[in-house]
Chain A
Amino acid sequence: MNHSPFTLQAHGIGKSFISAQVVTPVLHDISLAIRPGELTLIAGPSGCGKSTLLAILSGLQRPDQGCVMALGQDLGALAPRELERFRLQHTGFVFQGFNLFPALTALQQVELPLDYLELPAKEVHCRAVQALEAVGLGSRMQLRPAALSGGEKQRVAIARALAKAPELLFADEPTSALDATNGQIVIDILHRIARERGTTVLCVSHDPRLIRHTDRVLAIEDGRIISDLHPHLRPVNATGPQEHSV
């Protein structure tokens, strides 16, 4: 049982990539703790290491140093199979590309991962319908991706992640491929998921439009967290994020 108020914690995370015998450090000694029920944004310029941080926090990649505790579980101690099982039961993902199977209807896209949770067929269907209704696609669930707009596709992708009822939801640049209106809808949905379901939503983006819709912004630059803001508690500094030790 996890008694910590944080659902996701990182301690001293470091990561380097080796290319042609040249070692390039990407993340330097990052520590952070994220609460449930909040939409946390990791923001920063391209190449600052924010996607690598997301990969490590979500258990897709292992850090060179440090450890990640997710829902009280040390991800570094899990074998690859156990990590897959952990992701199946506890995490959802939304990517920049919608990555929907062209052959499946919106409903089937959402039902597909649920099938692997070994739930009764009826519950799989109910959960999928509810998830699609939650993202406003109740009337379009029989359509295939080719018949959906970009925003709708991303909402299907969110419903797919959401239907598993994950405690942790990771989103990588979820609005980058969308126009302002659809980007707004998507970020509102993510925000609502955090608020209403108590889900820990961690979003990575360089889209500045998102900042005022999030509960917390971690600004990252050159592999280090340079600020930790709560936009709704304090007005956003027009000149940029403030320095803050994490």
Chain B
Amino acid sequence: MVALARLTLIHEWRRFLPAMIAVGFAGLLQLLQAALVMGIFSSASVYITGSTADLWVGYPGTQSVNLGRPIDAGVEMRLRMDPDVLMVEPFRWVDADWRGARDTGGVSVFVSGIDAGSQGLMFSRVLPTSLRTRLDEPGSVIVDRADLGSLGVKLGEVASINGHRVQVVGVTSGLRALGGVNVLTSLATARQLEPTVADDRMTYLVAKLRDPSQTEAVAARLGGASAFGSYAVWSAERFSQRSQTYWMFDTGAGAGVLFLAAIVFLVGAVITSQTLVAAVVGSIREYATLNALGIGMAALRKVVMEQALWVGALGLLGSTFLACLLFALAHSHNVPVALSPIAALAWLLLSMTLALVSGLAAIRTLRHADPISLLR
């Protein structure tokens, strides 16, 4: 079988190049946008994904980690009594005001008061044990390396949080937050920064289970009790999704992303279809000749659709290559990018749909491939 679509694409690549670039760039824009948004919003749940806790216990109805309200610290006893629970650890969240060594004005920070013990669950994925134990020193804090500039400090320098003197004893990465700066400190230091909250109240309790595969069942069982006032229990995965979904949709950011994706799709489809139309018009006499020779319109439409799919595939190949480069660049500059397999698959489908829609628009031009127009 003579591969007319493919041979024409190779021979007349200049003619098809704008379509490939349109598909490629539309795809790249959509992919980067999705990855950036997911990257940024995944930082809304860095407290969960950066930790090894299986269960999160907090105020009922909490939509995102940063919106937590204190619960009765006595719930810890309830958790420890459960035979499936291996470890329980408190987590104190404090919204605070930071003043750095240099004049940066007030910086809004999210202070995470965590267990500084070497077995601590909170932030265990992003915090090496040696660094964590340094938090035992009263007034010591750890921040993300990329946040040093906005906090106006260097490693080892002192600053103040809510008027209390603190010292940056270490830096790490993977701690960047949404809407503020994450500051890690010990539970004791965090307690000092927030004197208004009663001692018997804690923002969250996190727990590790003996068998992580039972997380959902244990969460359901523990959530049903009400002996220590109102509290809710979520699995880490569910609470992480809850936080990201809140940022993505309840803040309107998700709608903005979808709107932009639709605009990019539209522009990409218009450019691609116009290029394909021009390619069909350029070969219209040849197509008309084939039709005169008895090759049906359905077969000619297949040729155009095949061209559209090749244009789509090649455009995507280009955008995948560029996206990999840009992702590497983003990682090296601490720009949060993340892409789930489902999002990547959705992107792939969307881009191929763009090529397909453009092809469908172009095959309409084939109605001009009328052999009678060749007779004069």
A-side interface residues toward B, CB under 8 Å?
51-52, 54-55, 58, 60-61, 81, 84-89, 91-93, 95-97, 99-104, 108, 111-113, 115-116, 121, 144, 157, 160-161, 164, 172-173, 204
Using known A-B contacts A97-B374, A101-B286, A173-B376, determine if residue A87 contacts B292 with beta carbons closer than 8 Å.
yes
Residues A87 and B375 in contact, CB atoms below 8 Å apart:
no
**CB<8 Å pairs between A and B, sample of 26:** A52-B375, A54-B375, A55-B371, A55-B372, A55-B375, A60-B371, A81-B296, A84-B291, A84-B296, A88-B294, A91-B293, A92-B293, A93-B371, A97-B374, A101-B7, A101-B286, A102-B11, A102-B12, A104-B2, A104-B4, A112-B2, A113-B290, A115-B1, A115-B2, A157-B289, A161-B293
CB distance from B23 to the nearest CB of A (A): 21
> Are A93 and B1 in contact, with the CB atoms below 8 A?
no
Residues of A within 8 A of B150 (CB): none
Contact A60 B372 (CB under 8 A): yes
Q: Is the interface of B mostly helix, strand, loop or mixed?
A: helix
What residues on A are CB-neighbors of B294 within 8 Å? 84-89, 91, 113, 116
**Bound CA span A161–B249, Å:** 62
**Contact of B208 with A by CB under 8 A:** no
Complex contact B289–A99 (CB within 8 A): yes
Give the residues in chain A near B296, CB-CB below 8 Å: 81, 84-85, 88
Q: Are A108 and B2 in contact (CB under 8 A)?
A: yes
Closest residue on chain B to residue A46 by CB atoms: B376
| CB of B283 closer than 8 Å to a CB of A | yes
- Asked if B8 CB lies within 8 Å of chain A CBs, one says yes
Q: Mark B272-306, 1 if CB is under 8 A from A, else 0.
A: 00000000000101101111111111010000000
Give the distance to chain B from A162, nearest Cβ to Cβ, in Å: 11
Inter-chain contact A93/B289, CB cutoff 8 Å: yes
| Interface positions of B (Cβ within 8 A of A) | 1-2, 4, 7-8, 10-12, 283, 285-286, 288-297, 299, 371-372, 374-376
Interface pair B375/A95, CB less than 8 Å apart? yes
**A115–B295 CA distance with the chains assembled, in angstroms:** 10
Query: How far, in angstroms, from A61 to B294 measured CA to CA in the complex?
Result: 14
Once the chains are docked, how many angstroms separate the CA of A172 from the CA of B288?
14
| B residues less than 8 Å from A60 (CB atoms) | 292, 371-372, 375
Tell me the bound Cα distance from A95 to B375 in angstroms.
7
A97 and B4: CB pair below 8 A?
A: no
Q: How far is the CA of A100 from the CA of B8 in the complex (A)?
A: 12
Minimum CB distance partner of B288 in chain A: A99
Apart from the given pairs A81-B296, A95-B374, A99-B289, 15 other A-B contacts in the complex at a CB distance below 8 Å: A58-B292, A60-B372, A84-B295, A87-B292, A87-B294, A88-B294, A93-B293, A95-B289, A95-B375, A103-B12, A104-B2, A104-B4, A111-B2, A115-B1, A115-B2
